[in-house]
Amino acid sequence: MTNARSVSQQTAVVRTGAFPLAGFELHRVASPDDWEEVRALRDRALRSHGEIPESGDGFSDSFDAALNSATFLLTRRGRAAGSTRASVSSASRRWALPSSAVFHEQIESSIGWEATIVEASLSVIDTQLPVDSRDALFHLLKAPMLRCSLESADWLIVAVPESQIGFHRRMFNMEILSGSERYPGFALPRVLMGLDYRREAPVLYRRIPTLAASEADARALA
């Protein structure tokens, strides 16, 4: 099932506005200052896990500017706390996803390209955040979950290092969709994982209400 609205209409829904999340605030990245914060966050987080070299000018790739992608910045008390990116592809609007170059065959065999798929990528939390990083992550992942709701998505996918497989299975009911593969730009291999959104989202929302994307949220961002 696909959503009839265009990519530009859909991204407009999540481009503007912000909403408070128990001390956190999440908004769509638009300004140069926002992008500077996002790239600095990515650098600190990815370097702390040995994913990218120590030197660099701020981690970015071509999907940051893609029409089917939206990047979000999570702040707490005015300070950058985390960032994530949500990209969408469907049968009627077939766009490349960040992981499709590596996991195209696995996506085709496990999900099928006729499905509407949202991918969360480059999700990072500030390494110096003075609160439980899991709490921040739940608030951050509100963004791709909201994108799933707006797009009537069938699946949410994410490519994670092997060390994060157990966490994503336990916390987000995600399935393993691939073996471990080398991933361009990163030192550690990645495994594709997916959430059957239509089947699992209601269960997940009951267990972690923070993730739930309500109609009120969508209206607040319109």
Give residue 20's Cα distance to chain centre. 18
In a domain, 12, yes or no: yes
In a domain, 64, yes or no: yes
Q: What is the pLDDT of residue 220?
A: 41
pLDDT digits (tens, 9 = 90+) for 156-185: 999 999 999 999 999 999 999 999 999 988
Identify which has the larger pLDDT, 136 or 18: 136
Least confident of 13-27, 106-120, 142-156: 13-27
Q: Is the pLDDT of residue 206 over 60?
A: yes
Q: What is the pLDDT of residue 27?
A: 87
Q: Which two tokens stand for residue 205?
A: 């929302």
pLDDT-above-90 percentage for the chain: 58
**Residue 211 lies in domain:** 7-221
Q: Which two tokens stand for residue 214?
A: 């309500």
In a domain, 2, yes or no: no
Q: Residue 118's domain is classified under what CATH number?
A: 3.40.630.30
Total structural domains within the chain: 1
Q: In whole angstroms, what is the distance from residue 25 CA to residue 201 CA?
A: 22
Strand ranges inside the chain, DSSP E? 18-21, 24-28, 69-76, 79-89, 117-125, 155-161, 175-176, 190-196
In a domain, 76, yes or no: yes
| Residues linked to residue 69 through DSSP beta bridges, in sequence order | 87
Coil, helix or strand at residue 22? coil
pLDDT digits (tens, 9 = 90+) for 78-100: 889 999 999 999 988 899 999 99
Q: Is the pLDDT of residue 76 over 60?
A: yes
Residue closest to 85 by CA, chosen among 116, 35, 38, 121? 121
Please state, as a whole number, how many other Cβ atoms lie within 10 Å of the Cβ of residue 160: 19
In a domain, 1, yes or no: no
- Cβ 158 vs Cβ 174: under 8 Å: yes
Per the listing, tokens 């089947």 go with 199
User: 153: number of CA atoms within 13 Å, CB side?
Assistant: 28
pLDDT digits (tens, 9 = 90+) for 7-24: 333 333 333 344 444 578
- 56 pLDDT band, cuts 50/70/90, is low
Question: Residues in the chain, how many?
Answer: 222
